[in-house]
């Protein structure tokens, strides 16, 4: 993504991904999804998402890539599990390229909702490696090898490539990741879906940097995570507030609570829960105005 391309920020329409572990009702985030099937993920900056404002209105984010300086580097989603996701693993860049993929998939999860006692599975227990994983898949005991991490609203978790992981019901997560959908499913609780055990076992790392990330108070916002592929911050604005928000790389603002307005060189864009305002070039500042309390995430791909 080049910084010399002059493109004003624009809004994207979420794209809803049907999943066997998803929900039929995504309220209060979305009143409707356009499908009667179970929806597990709302893709906020997916390649299929339609541009809603500006000169590219009606086009997909993927199709405007060349016009905005290249493929948008972050895939931001909201996950709505009503059942367990598969136990899975993602390759890093080098592993992905060796397998013929464009890039790997490193991600993070920010907990938006969590039932009491909710957990996620993040990493393998000490001493467990690919051999034990393969045996547990055969015996149906895979879950016993995973580290189960309790989560609460506001937690940020880093999911390093190579980390065996799983998400269960009882949470809603904002996921920020590399623009990649390379997933190797290791175990699926007997559901009749394809497994990718051979590839998955090749990319498993017994120990990674995955885990909870402590928030850091910054000037005017909270830094939730800072990694090679993404930086995610949370802003909390009071009523009748005007805040200048800078982006040091291509990124987006994602509404979490309340309603605000993003002022751009081309006009105003709504900032509402569950939708992304894309800032396709770095070194740009936008002004966020509020009439009530508003919170939003700033997700940026560092240059």
Q: How far apart are CA 12 and CA 277, in angstroms?
A: 6
**Cα 215 to Cα 110, 212, 219, 285, distances in angstroms:** 11, 9, 13, 23
Catalytic residue among 185, 191, 216, 259: 185
41 annotated as belonging to a binding site for a ligand: no
- Are 100 and 208 within 8 A, CB to CB? no
Q: How far apart are CA 258 and CA 296, in angstroms?
A: 9
90 annotated as belonging to a binding site for a ligand: yes
Q: Which of 296, 258, 257, 301 is nearest to 277 (CA)?
A: 296
Q: How far apart are CA 68 and CA 5, in angstroms?
A: 6
113 annotated as belonging to a binding site for a ligand: no
Q: Which of 138, 144, 178, 140 is nearest to 164 (CA)?
A: 144
Tell me, yes or no, if 298 is annotated catalytic: no
How many CB atoms lie under 10 A from the CB of residue 169? 14
How many CB atoms lie under 10 A from the CB of residue 15? 20
Structure tokens at 189: 């609780």
Point out which residues pair with 244 in neighbouring strands.
287
Place of tokens 């509404």: 255
DSSP per residue over 165-220, as a string? EEE-SSEEEEEEEES----EEEE-TT-SS---HHHHHHH--SS-S-EEE--EE-SS
Binding site per annotation, positions: 90, 107, 165
- Among all residues, which ones are annotated catalytic? 185
Binding-site annotation, residues for Zn(2+): 90, 107, 165
């Amino acid at each position: 993504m080049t910084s010399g391309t002059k493109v004003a920020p624009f809004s994207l329409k979420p794209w809803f991904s049907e999943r066997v572990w998803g929900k039929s009702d995504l309220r209060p985030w979305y009143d409707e999804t356009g499908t009667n099937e179970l929806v597990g993920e709302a893709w906020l900056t997916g390649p299929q998402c339609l541009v809603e404002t500006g000169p590219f209105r009606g086009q997909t984010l993927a199709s405007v890539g060349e016009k905005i300086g290249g493929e948008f580097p972050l895939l931001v989603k909201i996950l709505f599990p009503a059942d367990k996701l598969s136990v899975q693993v993602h390759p890093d860049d080098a592993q992905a390229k060796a397998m013929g993929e464009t890039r790997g998939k490193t991600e993070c999860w920010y907990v938006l909702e969590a039932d009491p006692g909710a957990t996620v599975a993040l990493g393998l227990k000490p001493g467990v490696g690919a051999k034990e994983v393969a045996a547990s898949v055969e015996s149906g005991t895979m879950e016993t090898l995973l580290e189960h991490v309790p989560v609460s609203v506001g937690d940020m978790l880093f999911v390093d490539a190579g980390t065996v992981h799983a998400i269960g019901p009882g949470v809603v997560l904002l996921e920020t990741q590399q623009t990649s959908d390379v997933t190797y499913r290791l175990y699926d609780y007997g559901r009749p879906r394809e497994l990718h055990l051979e590839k998955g076992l090749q990319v498993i790392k017994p120990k990674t940097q995955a885990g909870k990330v402590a928030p850091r108070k910054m000037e005017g916002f909270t830094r939730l995570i800072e990694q090679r592929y993404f930086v995610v911050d949370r802003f909390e604005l009071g009523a009748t507030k005007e805040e200048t928000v800078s982006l040091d790389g291509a990124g987006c603002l994602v509404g979490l609570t309340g309603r605000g307005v993003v002022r751009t060189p081309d006009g105003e864009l709504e900032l509402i829960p569950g939708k992304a305002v894309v800032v396709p070039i770095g070194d740009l500042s936008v002004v966020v105005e509020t009439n009530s309390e508003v919170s939003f995430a700033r997700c940026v791909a560092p240059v």
